[in-house]
Amino acid sequence: MKEKGIDEDTEPCEEEISLSLSFSNRGTDTRAKKRLLSLAKGIKRDLVTSEVLRLGFAGLGMAAGRLIPEIAQLPYIKLTAAADLRAHALQRFQQEFKAEVYASVEEMCASPNVDAVYVATPHEFHARHTITALRQRKHVIVEKPMAISLEDAGAMNAAAEANGVKLMSGHTHSFDPPVKKMREIIKSGVLGKLLMISTAYYKDHIYRPFPDHDIEMSRGVVLNQGPHQVDIVRLLGGGLVKSVRAMAAIGDASRPGEGHYACYLEFEDAVPASLVYSGYAYFDSGELTWGIGEGGERKDPERHLKARKFFNSLGSEPDRTRRLEARLEEWRYGGSTPGAWARGDSGQRKQYQPFFGLTIVTCERGDIRQSPDGLFIYDDGGKTEVSVPSGVDAREAELKEFYEGIVNNRAIFHDGRWGQATLEVCLAILQSAAERREVILSHQVPVPN
């Protein structure tokens, strides 16, 4: 890694951001308020460093079109290499970042000018490309799903541990400041024992511009969107899921992947959780969350209608694949409008706290849910709002955790073992649905202290 000066006083640390609290004048009693406020005190600053992490990007597709501009703005990361099969995308990357470019991930991982690799290749290549990088002693962030089998995830973790490098499974909305704040309040005990968790999201995923192949490989919403919900619930519940009972199915035969699931899971301490997801672009959960979306943006109220109209405009096969591919090429990195598919139907991001649907936590002495600017606590005193400073969003928080874990040689929370445990829950949803039975889990890990 190369040196670059960073002023340690420019920003508060992540813990300081996430633990900052403010209250309205009504609701939770004085003792509870004092206990919650005490969470904001006595936190040490993060370690600081003057090193810059040299990052290679594997796969310059649609995700890259959205992510690369965000990563390029981070002062502690330098994009030094990329690998892709599309020559014009590599040419643009080389020109934009004065970086090395390669036609294969294997060649890129051999470069001495790469410290870490961001794996954003198609789902079925996540394990292969991750293990390739790890064996070259490169640290790795791998996009969700971490892998498409538990065996692959186990091999990825074994490679990371054998070569003494970091493996992060990203990104999910468990990085969101309100979710982390919920966990802190649960752990504090101010509302008593955790009793149950409920989360539901109605979205347009099945009609988003993803090729049929991607929908098939991710088993529709289960391996693509499931990691978000499962990670949120595992963080809130302590991590150790005992069993899963679920149903999932394909609700639109024109798309080759599951479009919905309903899941009941039980933690080792008998706390239950329900997870519901629908990707059919009819009802929008934004109606229950003040019209706010995953990026803290004000959602277009006609977003779902537009998604269905766009999908229908593509026609039927084989014309649909051809027409969709033409649009996808525009939106990939190196295309005419990279990342536009994710920006065009909503307002500015980070206006409010991010919402991945509606999540409600029930404790012995109160319930918790998100508000536009933080959390609402419902208890014997009424409804109290806990303001949560926006801090960094999920993607930036992921990269910050990854970077600090490497340069300061610290454990990463969302590491490969955590990712494997989340994948196990998602695969159990599919197994339970296929076999119509409860599935007992064996690869779970707790939330670190």
Q: Which domain holds residue 349?
A: 174-393+423-440
Q: Is residue 30 part of a domain?
A: no
Q: Is residue 270 part of a domain?
A: yes
Identify any residues that bridge with 82 across adjacent strands, giving them in sequence order: 57, 101
Q: Is residue 76 part of a domain?
A: yes
Give yes or no: residues 55 and 178 share one domain. Answer: no
Which of the given ranges, 29-33, 294-298, 314-318, has the highest pLDDT on average?
A: 294-298
Judged by average pLDDT, the poorest of 49-63, 158-172, 229-243 is 49-63
Instruction: Please check the confidence at residue 356 and state whether its pLDDT lies above 80.
Output: yes
Helix (H), strand (E) counts: the chain: 15, 16
Q: Are the CB atoms for 169 and 144 separated by under 8 Å? A: yes
In terms of Cα–Cα distance, which of 61, 78, 105, 152 is closest to 334?
A: 61
Q: Is residue 352 part of a domain?
A: yes
Which of the given ranges, 18-32, 47-61, 164-178, 412-426, has the highest pLDDT on average?
A: 412-426
Q: Is residue 185 part of a domain?
A: yes
Mean pLDDT of the chain: 88
CATH value at residue 95 = 3.40.50.720
Spatial neighbors of 443 by CB under 8 A, at least 6 apart, are 150, 420, 421, 424
Instruction: Kindly indicate the confidence band of residue 400, based on its pLDDT and cuts at 50, 70 and 90.
Output: very high
Say what the pLDDT of residue 42 is.
32
Report the alpha-carbon angle 428-401-389, nearest 5: 100
Give yes or no: residues 138 and 57 share one domain. Answer: yes
Give yes or no: residues 81 and 113 share one domain. Answer: yes
Give yes or no: residues 203 and 132 share one domain. Answer: no
Q: Is residue 230 part of a domain?
A: yes
Give yes or no: residues 230 and 328 share one domain. Answer: yes
- d(C-alpha 142, C-alpha 84), whole Å: 16
Give yes or no: residues 189 and 206 share one domain. Answer: yes
Give how many domains the chain has, as a whole number. Answer: 2
What is the percent of the chain where pLDDT is above 70?
Answer: 87
Instruction: Please check the confidence at residue 48 and state whether its pLDDT lies above 70.
Output: no
Give yes or no: residues 263 and 223 share one domain. Answer: yes
Give yes or no: residues 85 and 200 share one domain. Answer: no
Instruction: Kindly indicate the confidence band of residue 20, based on its pLDDT and cuts at 50, 70 and 90.
Output: very low
Comparing 337 with 201, the larger pLDDT belongs to 201
Q: Is residue 35 part of a domain?
A: no
Dump strand ranges (E) for 298-381.
358-363, 366-371, 374-379
Comparing 307 with 40, the larger pLDDT belongs to 307
Judged by average pLDDT, the poorest of 50-54, 173-177, 405-409 is 50-54
The whole-angstrom distance between residue 185's C-alpha and the CA centroid of its chain comes to 21
Give yes or no: residues 120 and 179 share one domain. Answer: no
Spatial neighbors of 22 by CB under 8 A, at least 6 apart, are 386, 387
Q: Is residue 129 part of a domain?
A: yes
Give yes or no: residues 96 and 186 share one domain. Answer: no
| pLDDT per residue as tens digits for the range 59-104 | 999 889 889 999 999 999 999 999 999 999 999 999 999 999 999 9
- The SS3 assignment for 156 reads helix
The token pair at 30 is 């004085």
Give yes or no: residues 304 and 428 share one domain. Answer: yes
Give yes or no: residues 154 and 300 share one domain. Answer: no
| pLDDT per residue as tens digits for the range 195-253 | 999 999 999 999 998 999 999 999 999 999 999 999 999 999 999 999 999 999 999 99
CATH value at residue 329 = 3.30.360.10
